[in-house]
């Protein structure tokens, strides 16, 4: 194991050794004028790994409330405009995958005309036991109003 560098990496390394760090994925869209330099510095200090366009994976230590504490931490170091969006994916205490916007919210997706779907504030996924059976596919809904 490499030695951690920087205050946050030390905190993250120590928390991971003590079992108090949560593995997370963070998807980000700060817009054209967003503070990407501030966000990249913040992600770098946590030792985040790149996972494709605008997605990072890292371990984040927290005391009691992952979402609240991470949101506060990011807002202290990154200038966020009204168009900025940060989406966190993590496992809860019951090993359910969850997704939630830390900043911003959903926008109309490019595929909206092709399928109908209700918009929710929090996404709940499959537990580890459910993933052994493979993901459940949603039933196809047809828009007959066209």
Domain map (residue ranges) of the chain: 7-131
Helices 66-77, 36-45: axis angle to 10 degrees equals: 130
DSSP state of 141: -
Q: Are 125 and 97 in contact (CB under 8 A)?
A: yes
pLDDT attached to residue 123: 74
Q: What is the tens place of the pLDDT at every residue in 4-20?
A: 456 566 666 656 555 57
pLDDT per residue over 89-131, tens digit each? 999 888 999 999 999 999 988 888 887 666 666 777 765 555 4
- pLDDT at site 111: 84
Cα(86)–Cα(93) distance, integer angstroms: 22
Paired sense of beta strands 97-103 and 122-124, if any: antiparallel
For the question of whether the overall pTM of this predicted structure is more than 0.85, the answer is no
pLDDT score recorded for residue 146? 44
pLDDT tens, position by position, 23-82:
999 999 999 999 999 999 999 999 999 999 999 999 999 988 999 999 999 999 999 999
Does the pLDDT value for residue 138 go beyond 60?
no
| Cα four-point dihedral sign 116, 102, 82, 7 | negative
- What is the distance between the alpha carbons of residues 130 and 114, in angstroms, rounded to a whole number? 28
Mean pLDDT of the chain: 81
Neighbours of 10 (CB within 10 A): 13
Maximum Cα interatomic distance, the chain, rounded to a whole number of Å: 60
The residues near 39 (Cβ < 8 Å, ≥ 6 apart) are 28, 30, 74, 78
């Amino acid at each position: 194991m490499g030695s951690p560098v920087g205050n946050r990496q030390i905190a993250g390394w120590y928390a991971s050794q003590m079992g108090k760090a949560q593995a997370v994925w963070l998807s980000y869209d700060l817009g054209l004028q967003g503070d990407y330099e501030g966000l990249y510095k913040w992600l770098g200090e946590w030792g985040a790994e790149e996972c494709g366009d605008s997605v990072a994976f890292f371990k984040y230590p927290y005391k009691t409330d992952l979402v609240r504490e991470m949101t506060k931490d990011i807002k202290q170091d990154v200038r966020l405009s009204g168009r900025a969006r940060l989406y966190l994916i993590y496992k809860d205490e019951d090993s359910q995958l969850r997704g939630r916007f830390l900043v911003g919210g959903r926008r109309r997706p490019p595929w909206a005309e092709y399928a109908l779907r209700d918009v929710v504030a929090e996404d709940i996924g499959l537990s580890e036991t459910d993933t052994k059976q493979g993901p459940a596919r949603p039933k196809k809904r047809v828009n007959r109003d066209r």
